[in-house]
Structure formats: C-alpha cells, structure tokens
Structure 1
Amino acid sequence: MAIALLVHAPRAVVAQSPPTPVTELRGVWMTNIDSDVLFSASRLSDALQRLKQLNFNTVYPTVWNWGYTLYPSAVAQREIGRSLDPTPGLQGRDMLKEVVEQGHRLQMSVIPWFEFGFMAPAGSDLAKRHPEWITQRRDGSQIVREGKHPRVWLNPFHPEVQQFLVDLISEVVTNYDIDGIQLDDHFGLPAELGYDPYTVQLYQLEHRGRRPPDNPQDVEWVRWRANKITQVMAKVFAEVKARKPNVLISLSPNPQEFAYTTYLQDWFGWERRGYVEELVLQLYRNDLARFIEELQQPEVKQALSHIPVAVGVLSGLKGRSVPMQQIQQQVQEIRKQGFAGVSFFFYETLWNLSDERASDRTSALSRLFPRAATRPSLLQCWSGSR
C-alpha cells in the first residue's frame, strides 16, 4: 500500500474542524504483528495508561492470530495441541485477563479481536493437524499469499471448522469479563477458494448433482457461498447472546462491494439481520476524496442509522509511515460526516513506527482528543427500523 503525503497546511485543517464530540468511539487495535506491546505485562500496562491519558476509550487486543490463541485456551489445546501461542513473552501469564482488568480499571472497553478468522499460516500446527479443514482453488492449490506470508484458509462450510471458531469465541465470552468480541475481513473466504471435495459435494447435494461453476465469480456461486458464511455469522451471534446477552458483536470489514466479491462477506446483509451491533469500517485510503466517497456509500449510511458505525483509519504499517496530517484530516472528516468514531490500525504506528517524531504525533493525538468521551451505545443509534 503506497502512502501518499498530503500537502494541506495543518493549521487550516484544525481551523475547519468540528467541535470535539463528548460521545465518540476512540479505539486502537493491539496486535502481535510488528509489535511487542502484548508480550510484556509492564509494556502492556504502560500502553493502556498512555492510551487513557490520550482519552482513548476502547482497545481491540488480538486473541487469535498466526494459528494460535494469545490467551490460555482449552479449545486450542484440543484442536491445535497447544493452549497458547509459544512466543516467550506470553508464557506464564494471561494477556487477555491483564487487558480486561487493567482496561476496565481505566474505564476503557475491551473487545477481543479474532484477527485471523478463518485464515491460518500454511505450516501451522492447526493446518498440519487438520488437513481436511483446508479449502482450495479449482486447480487444487491451497496457498494464498498475504504479502510474503503463505496462508491457507479453513473451510467455513465445514461443520467442524464452524464449531472450532464458535467454540473459540464462546470460550472467550464465557471466561472473561469482556465488553464485546470483534471479527474482521478474515471472517470470510477469498472468492477463488471453495473447490475442496467437501464443499463441492455440499453444492452438488443442493444443486441436483451439478458441480460448482468453473468461474469463481459466477453470481450464483458467489451468493451460495456468501449465504453459507452468513449462516456461520448467525451461529456466532446466537452463541454469544446465549452466553452473555450484553456482549457486543463488533465487525471490522472492508467496504461492502470489495468484501462481498473478494471475501464472500456480505456484512451489509449481516447488519440488516441484526448480527452486527458495531461496525468499524476499514478505510485505509490515502486519497481524501476517495476516503469521503467510501464514507458516503448507501449501505454505510443505512448502517449508520441503525448501529454505531466507526471508521478504521490507518495510522501506519512497518516501513510505511502515514503522516499525522493525513490522520487528522480523516478524523475530522469522520466527525463531519456524523460517524460514531474512529479506531486506529495499529497501536505501534500511533507514535513509534513513523517517520515523524513520537512526541509530535502524541501532541497531535492530544489535540484530536482534548477531553474524555464516552463510547456510543447501540441504544443511542437504534432507530427501530431494522
């Protein structure tokens, strides 16, 4: 992703900014990729206190990543053979328990993030132990590259895969005093996949023996698979609400058209059915005009009338700095358009992984969030028109 520098003068942008809202989602994703903040109890504690001082009110810590859980998991032990990610900094502690307890003490909401969804590293213990869970392309290949990393995808149409993901989510909801759970764009499937024997047989069973179309973008084939993933989302919703009705279901997808055609993820349909109670739309754009265009899509506006809809803003990637000026402009546009708030991807790039001085970026964030704000609630946004 190329990062384009914007040339607007910061003072002009600040002068045009709307008043700082007193109700606003201010979140950040905390991951174990290109960041070690989760690998030390002291670093984690310092990070949460720093976020609180800057008037953040929500953290999304990853709990399912790289084929492992980042909390001690009986479900992972059963299916993967390991109860916890083997990274040394996670051993002998329960990272998620620490985040929940400290976050709540600081009056921050904690929403565990199942970052990898149906995806797994190609050589992971999970993939080796359950080869029958891996789906494939029509030519039989399974590897999907994510940058330089070879991934495989668990088959969301396989009942054992569905149960595994539902059990992981249920375990977290049951064992921790969390405010919600979050799924993202990986709770879907790359559209070229789904040609594994199990899925082909299932399709044939429902289509009088016909095989799936050779074209992975065939309209009916896309819809059939998307509908099956919607059914999995319904299972997740039912399980969470059966365990703890007040636990929020949050989703952070890509824009609808891309999400549907590329990852078979019909999040707008999920929202219409009531399965999504908070939407954090990933809009990792450098061009402000395109950013605004995505904010104004009809399905986004419709969701905004029902539930809190915030926007995921890219604060940077390792080796790809995003200027704070761009971040400020996007946050101000989000406010101008009446959205519920913002979440930054990801913690480390708020100040550390950047070409700009950490002190300058911290000062800019303090100006964006000069006073505390409460999180928007579902009841505040619900209009009764579902």
Structure 2
Amino acid sequence: MFFKSFQRSIQLFFNRKFFKIFVYFVVAIALFLLINFQLYGGQSLSNTPEIRGVWLTNVDSDILYSPQHLTSGLQRLKSLNFNTIYPTIWQGGYTLYPSSVAQRVFGVSIDPNPGLEKRDVLQEIVQYGHQQNFTVIPWFEFGFMAPADSELVKKHPNWLTRKQDGSVIKKEGVEERVWLNPFHPEVQQFILALITEIVKNYNIDGIQFDDHFGLPAEFGYDDYTIKLYQQEHNGQSPSPDFYETYWVRWRADKINQLMKKTFETIKSIKPNCIVSLSPNPLHFSLPAYLQDWFTWERKGWIEQLVLQIYRSDLNRFITELERSEVTLAKNHIPVAIGILSGLKNRSTPMNIIEQQIAEIRKRNFAGVSFFFYESLWKWSEESEQQRQQKLQHLFPTSVNREHGLNGLR
C-alpha cells in the first residue's frame, strides 16, 4: 500500500515537472519567434528569390557620367546585395547609346552631354553589370514623351498629338514636354526601330517601359487621330470630354494593339528578353494615361511588373498593394513594387522604407525597386552611412532575382 502510494507520488511529481518544462519550452520558442520577427521582419529569407532593383538616371545623379562613377556605383550596389539595375537609355529626346535610328530620323546619334557623347553607356552597363552578376534591364524612360525644344520635335512636328484647344505642351514640373502620337504609323515605326536596335545589338536581360508608354488623356485631338476615329465611326468625331468612357477605351485599345506589336517584335529578336513594365496603379494609369496595363498582363504582353507605389502614408501604400488587379497579376507573373527612395532635396526616411518593404514581403511580392540610385543615400537628415547600414540590414545576403522563364511563373 505504501509502495503504491509512493509510486503515484513520484509519477505525479514527474508529470508536473515535465509539464512545467514543456510549458516553459513552448513559451521560450514563442518568445524567440516573436523577437526574431520583430527584429528581422523586414529581411528576406536568405534563399528566397527577390528582385532588388534600382533605377539609374542621368538626372540629379552622376552615376552614368563616367566609367569610374558607373563601376564604383555598381560595386556599391553589389556590396548591398542588389541584383537588378534599370538604367535609362531613352531620355530627354536622346539615346544614351550610339543609335543609327536616331541619327537617321533626327540627326543626333547620342546624347550630346560631354559625359555621354563619346561613350556607349549602355554597352558599359551591360559589361560591368554582368561582371557583377546584375540582371540588366534598360529602361525606355521617355516612351512617347519628348522635350518641346528637342531636335526630334523640330524635325517631325507632324508627329505630335494635340489637346482639344490645339496646344501641344504638357508641363512636367517646370519642364515643357510634348507627346508623340502613338496612333501615327510613322511614330510607331520610329519607336519600334529604337527598341529593335537595343534588343538586337546589346546583350541585355530585358527591356522596361513605364508610364510614358501611354498618352495623357487630354491628348488625341490632332488631325490624324480625329480622322482615324471618324473613319471607324461613320464620320462621328470623338467626344470633347477627354475622360469620356468610350473615347478613353478606344484610345487605350489602340495603345494595347501597339503593346502587342512591341512584345511580338522583341520576342522575334530575342525570345528570352524579359518585357518589363513599371506603370502607375491602374485606377490612375488607365483614365489619366490611357495605359491599360492589366490587359497587357492578362494577354501575356508583359512578363515582369514593377508597380510604382510612391506613397509615404503606409495605409495608402497597403491599399495599393491589395488591389484585386495587383493580386491577380502577382499570381501570374513576378510583380515587384517600385518604392520612392527620394527626390533631390526630398529624401524618404529609412523607417518608412523599412515599413514598406516589410509589407511587400508579408504579401509575397517578387521584390522591390528604388527610384532612384542617388536618393538611396543623399538629401536626407540621416547620414549616408546610416542609410547604407539600414539597407544592409534589409538585404543581409545576396539572392537571385524572382525566377521564372521569361518572367512567367
């Protein structure tokens, strides 16, 4: 009797002891996971593919203006575990590479800036970039936009589209811009010829278009476009309201057809060339710029989407991430998010960038790209060293970009 009672006491003791140990173990694991999530929630898993991109500009930045600046800049990005670069190559009415197309069409083969005119910047970027294992995707920045006083415009004034009052200027900040008519066959031939020589002549991994591969909605009232519309509508003229639904749809569909042709042209030359697009959110890009990128994504005419979400308010940022068209796209092709790291004299604080990247990773996007290189570390109340340290924390190890054949999942 005594022995059985003693045996039950021993069992009860050990059961309670091991129960407590088990409880402590579970609590310890939970605390460990919580602390690590808080500390490293903004970091990616070491082996998870992720686009870590940055746009390289020739405005408010020196990186493209000498081979030395370029090589040191790429080395700096590589040390921070970036893996993708989007260098501008069609900007301000000029190419940043020697272009026989530009020479033939408007008489200037390359940007005449002294730091650019005697170099092939694109070839340097491809060479140095690939040496550092970057994915190199040139950025066709200006699309159909051009400076009002450019040689291209002076040579081909009939290529411009117009507003309803006949004017051609649309301000971009303080700069006067005009827009080539994307519905005009000669304009289409010129743009496709530029794209063709880039894809054919350079060992690029892809080519990227952005919100300028569209048209501000107030344009389209030039003679050519009005006549084209009238031919398709029994002589009826387009609506004087440039936001009128059908008039928006008709022009957007024409641009859709051009994007299809652009995609097919690129693929006929280099099947593995990634066709990337960096647009504004759809609820703005379609009515304001006639850019129906959701149709492009659904049809397979783009293979990588880098959505510009330049919002400092985190709730607005999250709202854009969770829109249904973004979710649908994310389930079809790699979708990265474009983050505004800052503009000249207006830097984005690193704590905002950290919060945004955490939200992006939480939703399993394909990665991020920063606009733009110089603002990653300049024009901030934080020191360059502080910002660089925080970037190192965000990208602690090197990873490959989002995988997928030609971008498709």
The TM tier, using the shorter chain, reads: over 0.9
Where does structure 2 lack aligned partners over 5 or more consecutive residues? 1-35
Q: Distance in 1 between matches of 2:67 and 2:255?
A: 37
- Residue from 390, 394, 403 that aligns with 1:377: 403
Q: Is the 8 Å Cα contact of residues 347 and 378 (structure 2) preserved in structure 1?
A: no
Given the alignment of the two structures, is residue 283 of structure 1 paired with residue 309 of structure 2, yes or no? yes
Residue number in structure 1 paired with 2:45: 20
Residue number in structure 1 paired with 2:391: 365
Shift of 1:321: 1.3
What is the RMSD computed on CA atoms of the aligned residues? 1.4
Give the residue type in structure 1 aligned to 2:42: S
Residue number in structure 2 paired with 1:264: 290
Shift of 1:169: 0.7
Q: Distance in 2 between matches of 1:131 and 1:361?
A: 46
- Residue from 324, 328, 336 that aligns with 2:354: 328
Residue number in structure 1 paired with 2:245: 219
Q: Distance in 2 between matches of 1:76 and 1:270?
A: 28
- Residue from 68, 73, 78 that aligns with 2:94: 68
Q: Structure 1's 381 and 101: CA in aligned 2 closer, same or farther, altered over 3 A?
A: closer
- Residue from 220, 229, 236 that aligns with 1:194: 220
Shift of 1:13: 6.0
Q: Is the 8 Å Cα contact of residues 50 and 367 (structure 2) preserved in structure 1?
A: yes
Q: Distance in 1 between matches of 2:229 and 2:44?
A: 53
Q: Is the 8 Å Cα contact of residues 126 and 203 (structure 2) preserved in structure 1?
A: yes
Q: Distance in 2 between matches of 1:99 and 1:109?
A: 10
Q: Distance in 1 between matches of 2:276 and 2:113?
A: 27
Q: Is the 8 Å Cα contact of residues 46 and 398 (structure 2) preserved in structure 1?
A: no
Q: Structure 1's 311 and 42: CA in aligned 2 closer, same or farther, altered over 3 A?
A: same
Q: Is the 8 Å Cα contact of residues 306 and 381 (structure 1) preserved in structure 2?
A: no
Percentage identity across paired residues of the two chains: 58
* 1:104-253 → structure 2 map (5 Å cutoff): 104-253=130-279
Residue number in structure 2 paired with 1:312: 338
Moved more, 25-34 or 88-97: 88-97
Secondary structure, counterpart of 2:64 in structure 1: helix
Q: Is the 8 Å Cα contact of residues 43 and 396 (structure 2) preserved in structure 1?
A: no
Residue number in structure 2 paired with 1:352: 378
Q: Structure 1's 218 and 351: CA in aligned 2 closer, same or farther, altered over 3 A?
A: same
Give the residue type in structure 2 aligned to 1:325: N
Q: Is the 8 Å Cα contact of residues 120 and 154 (structure 1) preserved in structure 2?
A: yes
Q: Which has the larger radius of gyration?
A: 2
Residue number in structure 2 paired with 1:78: 104
Aligned residues: 373
Shift of 1:382: 4.2
Query: What are the superposed Cα offsets for residues 133-187 of structure 1, whole Å, 9 maximum, x if unpaired?
Result: 0001111011000011110000000011111111111100000000000000000
Q: Is the 8 Å Cα contact of residues 13 and 329 (structure 1) preserved in structure 2?
A: no
Q: Is the 8 Å Cα contact of residues 274 and 407 (structure 2) preserved in structure 1?
A: no
Residue number in structure 2 paired with 1:41: 67
Q: Structure 1's 65 and 19: CA in aligned 2 closer, same or farther, altered over 3 A?
A: closer
Q: Distance in 2 between matches of 1:29 and 1:114?
A: 11
Where does structure 1 lack aligned partners over 5 or more consecutive residues? 1-10
Q: Distance in 2 between matches of 1:21 and 1:295?
A: 23
Shift of 1:12: 9.5
Given the alignment of the two structures, is residue 91 of structure 1 paired with residue 126 of structure 2, yes or no? no
Secondary structure, counterpart of 1:136 in structure 2: coil
- Residue from 41, 52, 55 that aligns with 1:29: 55
Q: Is the 8 Å Cα contact of residues 18 and 336 (structure 1) preserved in structure 2?
A: no
Secondary structure, counterpart of 2:194 in structure 1: helix
Query: What are the superposed Cα offsets for residues 29-51 of structure 1, whole Å, 9 maximum, x if unpaired?
Result: 00111112101110000001111
Give the residue type in structure 2 aligned to 1:228: K
Q: Is the 8 Å Cα contact of residues 58 and 111 (structure 1) preserved in structure 2?
A: yes
Secondary structure, counterpart of 1:183 in structure 2: strand
Q: Distance in 2 between matches of 1:302 and 1:347?
A: 30
Q: Structure 1's 53 and 316: CA in aligned 2 closer, same or farther, altered over 3 A?
A: same
Shift of 1:355: 2.8
Q: Is the 8 Å Cα contact of residues 25 and 310 (structure 1) preserved in structure 2?
A: yes
Moved more, 162-171 or 17-26: 17-26
Q: Distance in 2 between matches of 1:216 and 1:380?
A: 36
Shift of 1:16: 4.1
Q: Distance in 2 between matches of 1:32 and 1:327?
A: 23
Shift of 1:381: 7.3
Q: Is the 8 Å Cα contact of residues 204 and 210 (structure 1) preserved in structure 2?
A: yes
Residue number in structure 1 paired with 2:25: none
Q: Is the 8 Å Cα contact of residues 305 and 382 (structure 1) preserved in structure 2?
A: no
Residue number in structure 2 paired with 1:3: none
